Amino acid sequence: MPEHIAYAVFFTLGALCFLVSFFYIRKHSFQKHRLERDEYCQKWIWRATTLALWCPLFLTLQAVIPLQADILDENAKETVWSMIHQGSAVVLFILSMIHAFIVCFFIRHIENHTYAKSSIVLKHLGLYGMGAALVFSVIFHPASNMSGVRSHFAFNMAGIAQWLFVVSMMLFYGSYTIDFKDPESVSEPIVSQEQE
């Protein structure tokens, strides 16, 4: 099917771009804005980066291995390929959410960082959106049947939840572009709550 080939090719290219961009993100976001200020922070931020570096693999797997054609058929038996597709997407979602949580935690608790307020707000919106969507996307996904309901309502809920997660994930990762600005050009450095 041509649409699946296009999906697989473009998502795999996106995964490669994601992989390359993360080395840039680490240098021009985490280090530049003093998020890696001591050994403890460096260790956790490196863990967050390592988790994110696995994301392209699972993004590629879910792109290359499609859901079965009759996944929306209420009487269809799930195939191993559908389970791999769904499992890859879930791992991608979980890794992204843990990465986002670690980054948001350290931005909140590190004094004297130079992240812009808009970057912090977008990162938190992305994290909260991912958290809310993950639960629903797993429960209502057609390949999981965890809800016990194989109705059009369940399928629609699964689709909405997955789109919410994808948009939230893009919002979070997209917020790194704000961090590439010169820290001195940030109008209002954010002060941690301990200082307030």
What confidence tier does 119 reach under pLDDT thresholds 50, 70, 90? very high
In the chain, the number of structural domains is 1
What whole-number distance in Å separates Cα of residue 119 and Cα of residue 139? Answer: 31
Q: Is 191 inside a domain boundary?
A: no
Average pLDDT over residues 126-142: 82
Q: How many CA atoms lie within 13 A of 52 on its CB side?
A: 25
DSSP state string for 41-81: HHHHHHHHHHHHHHHHHHHHHHHHSPPPTTTT-TTPPPPHH
Residue 113 placed within a domain:
yes
pLDDT tens digit string along 167-195?
999 999 999 999 887 655 444 444 444 44
Residue 192 located in a structural domain: no
Rounded distance between C-alpha atoms, residue 134 and residue 164, angstroms: 9
Residues in contact with 114: Cβ distance below 8 Å, sequence separation at least 6, in sequence order: 32, 33, 34, 183, 184, 186, 189
Q: Which amino acid is at 183?
A: P
- Is 193 a domain residue? no
Considering the domain boundaries, does residue 88 fall inside one? yes
Domain coverage including residue 156: 2-185
Predicted local confidence at residue 194, as pLDDT:
46
Domain-located, residue 128: yes
* Alpha-carbon span 47 to 49, nearest angstrom: 5
Position 158, amino acid: A
**Considering the entire predicted model, what is its pTM?**
0.79
Residue 190 lies in a domain: no
- The answer to whether residue 35 sits within a structural domain is yes
Per residue in 57-94, pLDDT (tens digit) is: 999 998 898 877 776 666 778 788 888 888 898 899 89
User: What is the per-residue pLDDT for 151?
Assistant: 66
